[in-house]
Amino acid sequence: MQVKFEFAIYDETLDRFDLDENTYFYELDDEQTQTYNLLKDRDLYLYNWFKESEFFLNWIKTEVYPNEIGKKISICDINDMSFRRYFFFKVTSADVHYEYFKKLFTIHHESDWQNREDVGREILEQLKVKRQELIVELKDDTSQNAS
């Protein structure tokens, strides 16, 4: 099974993400395809499975961003599943993104007329931590094994 990926590059100095305009394809083997199919309806589980998989990290370091040890990236899209809202959420984002994050972060508001900007700021505050969890840092395996 072939999986399509799009990535964002994290600029630590500016604390922002820039979209990598390229699309990348990875061919899953049978076992990986089974796992993918089990996780495909549970977005953050799928994201973390890829983020923590040795095969995926090796592919990124050798095929997607070769010779870029230290680079920090995030997965924006896996096939038709998008994670862009995590990296590009703004106070002016659409209602669907507000609802998603209010549910994810268990944010309750007192009334329907509560200031949307207050809720947006609370979401952004919670996203600061979540974004760091989702970042993939390309590390040199040889230096990790030597220590």
Higher pLDDT, 115 or 77: 77
Helical (H) or strand (E) element with 50 = helix 43-52
Q: What is the mean pLDDT of residues 102-109?
A: 87
For the cut 70, the answer to whether the pLDDT of residue 44 exceeds it is yes
pLDDT at 76 > cutoff 70: yes
Q: Is the per-residue pLDDT at 110 higher than 50? A: yes
Tokens 């944010």 label which residue?
107
pLDDT for 12-36, tens place per residue? Answer: 999 999 999 999 999 999 999 999 9
Question: Residue 145: which pLDDT band, with cuts at 50, 70 and 90?
Answer: very low
Nearest to 78 by CA among 126, 26, 116, 32: 26
pTM, rounded to two decimals:
0.86
Tell me the mean pLDDT in the region 38-52: 94
Cβ neighbours of residue 60 under 8 Å, at least 6 residues apart?
73, 136, 138
